[in-house]
Amino acid sequence: MRKSLVALAAAGILGGCASASSAPTLQSGPDAEVTVDGLYRVDNSVMQLAYMKPGWDLRGYTAMLIDPVTVAYKTDPRGRQRDAGGGTVSGNFALSANQMENFKSLFQEAVVDALSEDGGYRIVDTPGPDVLRITADLIDLIIAVPTAAVAANSTMIGRSAGAVTLVMEIRDSQSGEIIARAADRRSPGGGFGGMVQVSPQAVRADMRRLFESWATILSERLDDLRTVEIDPDPAQ
């Protein structure tokens, strides 16, 4: 029973739990999907992809070193472009420098708040023996609406404000050894199919909720792992 609880907590470090009947579990055995750096695939993860190093004991970690988030567009942000038939297709609109800084700040604030307030970790700026390092990249960013119009306080209706993928890694801050990796792509404010209201207030609120959701998953799973004894033998 203890090993089952340990496996459940370890598998859910970045994955959450879709339901009681489909709890996250680490793959095992000869058919397990294992990365080149020794991480095992997590099945039934709320995140679209999640990997964990078995047997890692997080009970001694009390602080977090959070790297500044990086952001990369999916395609060059050039607005609308002509297709081969002469029609227009939706492009990827660029955030202004100020909008990009606000975008990064929203994510950074969500992670810091979740880990320091809800998770009880100290936030530090140097590595240490009790420090975990969190690295997050927001990649394949699509801004589906003209950001100049949004900045001008107008309101638009569209199928989506865009989409972004989170890629997050957790490492030991001193050795650099990786403990977990996860990736998840979402569209702020809902799925790609529904109609959404796009305004400065709506977009900011949707982005904040998305970032807080990701940060809460991280905080809760780390908290789970700090309360269980991790079995050092990943083969068991």
**What predicted TM-score, i.e. pTM, was given to this entire model?**
0.78
Q: Do 149 and 197 form a contact (C-beta atoms < 8 A)? A: no
pLDDT of amino acid 220: 83
Look at strands 63-66 and 25-26 and give their pairing: unpaired
**Predicted pLDDT of residue 35:** 93
pLDDT tens string 175-190: 999 999 999 998 876 5
User: What pLDDT shows up at residue 99?
Assistant: 87
Task: Note the pLDDT of residue 144.
Answer: 75
Dihedral (Cα; 185, 137, 219, 103), 10-degree rounding: -80
**Which pLDDT belongs to residue 81?**
47
Write down the number of H helices and E strands in the chain. 4, 13
Dihedral of the CA atoms 230, 231, 234, 236 (nearest 10)?
Answer: -140
Question: How much is the pLDDT for 16?
Answer: 56
Residue-wise burial string across 71-94, b where 16 or more C-beta atoms lie within 10 A, e elsewhere:
eebeeeeeeeeeeeeeeeeebbbb
Q: How many CB atoms lie within 10 A of CB 142?
A: 20
Residue 182 near residue 168 (C-beta atoms within 8 A):
yes
Q: Residues near 129 by Cβ (< 8 Å), separated by ≥ 6?
A: 60, 174
Per DSSP, the residues of 175-234 read: T--EEEEEEEEE-TTS-SSS-EEE-HHHHHHHHHHHHHHHHHHHHHHHHHHTTSPPPS-T
Q: What is the pLDDT of residue 229?
A: 45
Write out pLDDT tens, residues 111-145: 999 999 877 899 999 999 999 999 999 999 988 77
Q: What is the pLDDT of residue 60?
A: 87
Q: Which stretches in the chain have pLDDT values below 70?
A: 1-22, 78-91, 146-160, 189-202, 224-236
Distance of CA 91 to the CA centre of its chain: 24
Domains of the chain: 60-220 (3.40.50)
C-alpha 145, offset from chain centre? 23
pLDDT value at position 94?
83
